[in-house]
Structure 1
Amino acid sequence: MLQLFFAVAFSAVPLTLYVPPIRSLNLFVETLENLFRQSARYTLRAYPSIRLAVSRIFHSLFRLST
């Protein structure tokens, strides 16, 4: 069991190099929140048009398949 623990632990160590430190993630998350907050009003305004377009695409796809 101890050998399995060490095998898993040492195989996971290189993966920690790909995970950025938390202090770098804070700026990234803040930027994403700001982007979503600013784009929300445009998304809400465009939502009915997008919904209509997607429904027309699905309607034409399913009509052609029958």
Structure 2
Amino acid sequence: MLDLFFAVAFSAAPLTLYVPPVRCLNLFLVAVQGFARQTADRSARVYPRARLGFSRVVAALRRLFYI
């Protein structure tokens, strides 16, 4: 069992090289946050329309399949 533990531990160690440093991850999160801020006003207008369209599609499917 100890051999299995060491095999898993040492095989996972190189995977830590693929994890970006925190400073790079922080820049990515800042970019995502800026994108979310820019698209918030558009999504506020689109969401009610999308919800209405989705409910109409579901209603049509219900009528089609008599559910």
Q: Give the ranges of 4+ consecutive aligned residues of structure 1 lying more than 4 Å apart after TM superposition.
A: none
Whole-Å separation in 2 of the counterparts to 1:27 and 1:37: 15
The equivalent of 1:37 in structure 2 is: 37
Shift of residue 17, structure 1, vs aligned partner: 3.0
The equivalent of 2:9 in structure 1 is: 9
Cα 1:62–1:14 shift into 2, 3 Å: farther
Give 5+ residue unaligned stretches, structure 2. none
Give 5+ residue unaligned stretches, structure 1. none
Deviation string, structure 1 residues 21-64 (Cα, Å, up to 9, x no partner): 21111111000001111111111122211110111111122222
**TM-score relative to the length of structure 2:** 0.78
1:51 aligns with 2:65: no
Amino acid at match of 2:18: Y
